[in-house]
């Protein structure tokens, strides 16, 4: 029980590392919470700081989920990696190191899948980019990737995976509820994801 508690705390703290805030302040002198959507995730980093910073932050956020999910293996416990991963997602969304204002849980959730089911991770990422290429909506692509992940879990008949992925996807959808309204109202900004210039993402809130 004590070891499990330590894992939960560590997973949350790892998830709480505000990659976007660190990269923005350290290398650009910018607090991205004061720009764009005010979100600490990769999308707002792309929007505010450009492609290079966006890739670094997104990769870091993914790795947070992967590392947290790997903690049970590192500690030699029988805890399911997915359970530890959930705490990292909570930390990313409500980070103690950034006033509990974090990201929307997409990249870190993907990182959890990278640890638990790498092939599923690849399929989910591919689905995200296909949807993004077609629609130019990051928010819609994120939610679509979650749905594909659920379908994959159902196909492989992994019960714990079905439950956890469904929870994570529902959480991602909840975090994107404002985006859903804008999509329905046709006011959700689209992105020029091939552009190399900072601020080529819409200045509107994600």
pLDDT digits (tens, 9 = 90+) for 81-91: 999 999 999 99
Give the separation between CA 2 and CA 10, rounded to whole angstroms: 12
Torsion of CA 111, 202, 186, 61, to 10 degrees: 10
Residue 194 lies in a domain: no
Residue 191 lies in a domain: no
Residue 159 lies in a domain: yes
Q: What pTM does this model have?
A: 0.89
For residue 10, the enclosing domain spans 2-184
Percent of the chain with pLDDT over 70: 93
Give the separation between CA 87 and CA 37, rounded to whole angstroms: 24
Residue 118 lies in a domain: yes
Instruction: Measure CA of the first residue to CA of the last residue in the chain; give whole Å.
Output: 40
Token pair listed for 116: 């638990």
SS3 127: helix
Give the separation between CA 132 and CA 137, rounded to whole angstroms: 6
**Does position 196 have pLDDT exceeding 60, yes or no?**
no
* pLDDT bucket at 6, cuts 50 / 70 / 90: very high
Give the separation between CA 19 and CA 108, rounded to whole angstroms: 11
pLDDT in the model for residue 190: 87
21-36 pLDDT, tens digit per residue, is: 999 999 999 999 999 8
Residue 201 lies in a domain: no
Question: Are the C-beta atoms of 45 and 32 separated by less than 8 Å?
Answer: yes
> Greater confidence, 95 or 193?
95
Residue 204 lies in a domain: no
Total domains in the fold of the chain: 1
Torsion of CA 162, 134, 205, 60, to 10 degrees: 60
Residue 74 lies in a domain: yes
């Amino acid at each position: 029980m004590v070891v499990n508690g330590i894992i939960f705390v560590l997973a949350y703290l790892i998830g709480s590392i505000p990659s976007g805030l660190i990269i923005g302040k350290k290398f650009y002198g910018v607090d991205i919470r004061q720009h764009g959507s005010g979100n600490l995730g990769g999308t707002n980093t792309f929007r505010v700081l450009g492609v290079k910073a966006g890739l670094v932050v997104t990769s870091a956020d993914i790795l947070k989920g992967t590392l947290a999910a790997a903690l049970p293996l590192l500690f030699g416990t029988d805890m399911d990696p997915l359970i530890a991963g959930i705490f990292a997602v909570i930390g990313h969304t409500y980070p103690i190191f950034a006033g509990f204002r974090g990201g929307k849980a997409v990249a870190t959730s993907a990182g959890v899948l990278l640890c638990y089911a790498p092939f599923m991770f690849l399929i989910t990422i591919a689905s995200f980019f296909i949807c993004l290429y077609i629609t130019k909506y990051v928010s819609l692509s994120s939610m679509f990737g979650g749905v594909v992940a659920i379908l994959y879990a159902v196909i492989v008949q992994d019960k714990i995976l079905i439950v956890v992925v469904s929870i994570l996807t529902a959480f991602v959808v909840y975090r994107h509820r404002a985006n859903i309204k804008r999509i329905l109202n046709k006011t959700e900004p689209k992105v020029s994801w091939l552009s190399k210039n900072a601020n080529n993402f819409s200045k509107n809130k994600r």
